[in-house]
């Protein structure tokens, strides 16, 4: 039961991490107004940073427990 849960958390973290980074890139590339780009960047980084932490911690837990 622990293996699928850790893998699911790891994968969800990677999805949030990459999605947040893609949103930052898209907002910065398409916005002509700096305030809109900075607001979008701040909102996306609130998703990307926890996603990165979740991906790292989930991957390290899987590795440390030798589950895969």
Per-residue pLDDT of the chain (68 residues; tens, 9 = 90+): 788 889 999 999 999 999 988 988 887 777 777 787 788 878 888 999 999 999 999 999 999 988 66
Q: Contact, 48 vs 24, CB < 8 A?
A: yes
Give the helix/strand (H/E) hosting 66.
none
Q: Which residue has the tokens 């930052």?
A: 24
């Amino acid at each position: 039961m622990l293996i699928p849960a850790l893998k699911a958390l790891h994968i969800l973290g990677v999805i949030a991490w990459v999605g947040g980074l893609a949103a930052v890139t898209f907002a910065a590339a398409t916005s002509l107004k700096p305030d809109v780009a900075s607001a979008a960047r701040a909102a996306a980084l609130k998703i990307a940073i926890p996603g990165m932490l979740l991906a790292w911690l989930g991957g390290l837990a899987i590795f440390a427990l030798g589950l895969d």
